[in-house]
Amino acid sequence: MPIIDDEYIKKATTLVVFAVLLVLTFFLLKPLLLSIVFGLILAFVFTPLHNSIKKVIKSKNLSVFLICLLFAAAIIVPVWFLTPIVIEQSFKIFQASQQLDVVTPLKKFFPSLFASDIFSNEVGNVLQSFIEKSTNYVFDLFAGIILHFPVLVLQLLVVSFTFFFTLRDKESIIKYIQSLMPFSKEVEKKLFEQSRMITSSVIYGQIFVGVIQGILTGTGFFIAQVPNAMFLTLIAMLASIMPMIGPVFVWVPVFVYLLVAGNVFAALIVVIFGLIASTIDNLLKPIIVSRTTRMHSAIVLIGMIGGLFMFGVLGLIIGPLILAYLLIILEIYRKKQLPGVFIEAHPNK
């Protein structure tokens, strides 16, 4: 009978204890994972500003504290004033969707196609069902935020702590992560560099530009005095963030609604701001994410949709990043000089 080495028993015991602790830690942090990830993303976004402030204010803690105050003010003030407006407008849209007549405008613009009453009623029922389900989903989302407000406060507390300590100790955290990686120094450097560029591309090139497009679209709504403009602006931001969708899916229906209502001047304002918002990404993206690595739009879209289903709204950011980091590791494993199919080097690089 073979004798089991004591050293082998120690290693096996250590491995089992480590695995058990790892599983327990996962379940312990599972309710907070999204908050932690969001805090890490915020730290990445505010790192350039922190580096600039740190040159003036030598104290690391004070510079991070000032950024946290700035971020808190940028979040709390709009939320405090805009939440009641958004809730009220979402409720109005929810009520209006229950009585919306979608067949009459279609008959007016496409009389030959909707000449048959049976066909018109079938299309109308399908569109009405889609609109009702969409508005119900959005309304339930806002209602859920209100009902779970205490939990949301605790999650924001975790986000704040993660944001603060990651921004303050980012150099030490990066060195610690590097010490755990089984890669060579060259591969580690390439991995971190590619990850930083891809993260910048997704957050600044997709999220930031999408928010700007939504704001431009919403500006047209406010100038044209479109009903429930604040709620429609938020929807336009969400649509703008999604690649291959864009604000056109919001401002075109509003444009048609204004034309049907006979408000031609307001419709003209909406279409002008809508066209500007729909085309401005061609100007902003090369400026914001110039000389960096980009991910294929189809992969970003798949990551956002999958992330939305798995993580909720925050998944719009997390989903593409998960796919991006996997593709980066695959590209490093390929050891090819040419860019891959899904990750593209910027033409100026």
| Residue range 194-227, pLDDT digits in tens | 777 777 777 777 778 888 888 999 999 999 888 8
Indicate whether 32 pLDDT > 50.
Answer: yes
- Residue at 73 is within a domain: yes
Burial 242-275 (b: 16+ CB within 10 A, else e): bbeebbbebbeebbbbbbeeebeebbebbbebbe
User: Does pLDDT of 99 surpass 60?
Assistant: yes
Global confidence as pTM = 0.64
Mean pLDDT of the region 71-79: 76
Structure confidence at residue 114 as a pLDDT band (50, 70, 90): low
- Residue 289: pLDDT above 70? no
How many Cα atoms are found within 13 Å in the side-chain-facing hemisphere of 296?
Answer: 11
- Per-residue pLDDT band for 142 (boundaries 50, 70, 90) equals low
37's tokens? 């990830």
For residue 10, being part of any structural domain is answered with no
Whether residue 319 lies inside any domain: the answer is no
Residue 70 within a domain: yes
| Residue 189 to residue 55: CA distance in whole angstroms | 25
Higher pLDDT, 319 or 134: 319
In this prediction, what percent of the chain has a pLDDT beyond 70? 74
Q: How confident is the model at residue 177 (pLDDT cuts 50, 70, 90)?
A: confident
Nearest to 294 by CA among 286, 302, 283: 286
Q: Flag whether pLDDT at 1 surpasses 50.
A: no
What does the angle CA 51 – CA 52 – CA 55 come to, to the nearest 5 degrees? 90
Q: Smallest Cα–Cα separation from 304: which of 162, 203, 234?
A: 203
The top-scoring range by mean pLDDT among 103-117, 292-306, 329-343 is: 292-306
pLDDT band at 48 (very low <50, low <70, confident <90, very high): confident
Residue 205 lies in a domain: no
User: Alpha-carbon distance 168 to 150, whole Å?
Assistant: 27
Which residue has better confidence, 279 or 119? 279
Give the number of domains in the chain. Answer: 1
Q: What pLDDT shows up at residue 201? A: 74
pLDDT at 150 > cutoff 70: yes
Query: Across residues 162-176, what is the average pLDDT?
Result: 85
Domain interval for residue 80: 30-180
Residue 278 lies in a domain: no
Q: Is pLDDT larger for residue 299 or for residue 292?
A: 299
Is 309 part of a structural domain of the chain?
no
Mean pLDDT (whole number) for 138-153: 70
Read off the pLDDT band of 343 (50, 70, 90): low
- In this predicted structure, what is the pLDDT of residue 338? 44
> Residue 172: what pLDDT?
85
Residue 335 included in any domain: no
